[in-house]
Amino acid sequence: MMLHEITTADREHFAEDGYLVVDDLIDPAHIPVLHQAFDDLFHGRFETGVRPDEVNWQVADGDPSRTRQICNGWKANREIARVVLDEGIGRAIAELAGWPGARIMIDNVLWKPPATKSLGFHQDSAYLSWFTPSDLCTCWIALDATRADGGTIEFVPGSHRWAHSEPEGEFHAPEDYRAPMRDAAAREGTEPGITYVEVPAGGGSFHHGWTWHGSGENLSPNPRRALVLHAMRSDVEYDPAQFAQGIGPIYSRYKRLGDNRLDENYFPVLWRKDGYRTPQITDYLDGR
């Protein structure tokens, strides 16, 4: 599935800027199948019979001005799973992040039709302190050609080296979607730059868990669909120190009895340096 081979220059760019933009992540020939998968999910058609962990928008009652979002669509649709559980993407993430391996934390199925409102700037890792080591790395895959006025993802170069901030502001449809980022930049005493990810369908980006990013309103006549994989290190565990603060109703329900290991049924290992990959992935993708 993964087309792009990570190079030394890619790793250097990622380390310096906190993100990497790539034109060739997946084969464009596979995109119509993913478009159908998106349509099925947002109409409540779950191919595997398993409901995604978060269903934030459905055709029947969703606010048409807001970005459509589903989390962990891979559990409900195997075409989504073929992408976000791809071994090559897992390896690319681990190589960029300098990890011994990568496992899926969550996926996002995002659909931003024309005139859909913005998504607020944020740092992904600010929301994810329930596991340790709490590193995070994300692969964002464009399923439509993207442009600056089409609500594409935006990055602030080098912002992964800024101080870690607490979550603030609205995420969906804020009045000023860049406000939290500008506040953080002011605390750093810097004037932030903005990079728009403009790639063909099948392209996309990788970004560090502390890189500031968000997206504006879709002012173009075209939809902007994206499939996102948020990955964590293969050797993470639940962090008991965070339990008193609460880790939420979704991720806490996958906690094993008696130990802090993450269950590979829910957080499968995509790739590891020693050649290991969660063996059940193959059977799942084959429909067994």
Continuous segment of H or E residues that includes residue 195: strand 195-196
- Please choose, from the candidates 121, 111, 107, 122, the residue with its C-alpha nearest in 3D space to the C-alpha of residue 66: 111
The count of structural domains within the chain is: 1
For the chain, give the number of residues: 288
Is 1 a domain residue?
A: no
CA dist., res. 55 & res. 75, Å (int): 12
Is 145 a domain residue?
A: yes
Q: What is the pLDDT of residue 244?
A: 65
Separation of first and last alpha carbons in the chain: 21
Contact 155, 212 (CB under 8 A): yes
Q: What is the pLDDT of residue 249?
A: 79
Query: Which residue reads 């309103």 in tokens?
Result: 217
* 3-state SS class at 186: helix
Q: What is the pLDDT of residue 170?
A: 84
Is 265 a domain residue?
A: yes
Is 141 a domain residue?
A: yes
CA dist., res. 100 & res. 105, Å (int): 16
CA–chain centroid gap for 236, Å, is 18
Per-residue pLDDT of the chain (288 residues; tens, 9 = 90+): 788 999 999 999 999 999 999 999 999 999 999 999 999 999 999 999 999 999 999 999 999 999 999 999 999 999 999 999 999 999 999 999 999 999 999 999 999 999 999 999 999 999 887 899 989 999 999 999 999 999 999 999 999 999 998 887 788 889 999 999 999 999 999 999 999 999 999 999 999 999 999 999 999 999 999 999 999 999 999 988 877 666 677 888 898 888 999 999 999 999 999 999 999 999 999 987
Q: Assign residue 40 the CATH number of its domain.
A: 2.60.120.620
Is 173 a domain residue?
A: yes
Give the domain extent around 194. 8-285
Is 3 a domain residue?
A: no
State the alpha helices, DSSP H only, in 21-173. Answer: 31-42, 78-84, 87-97
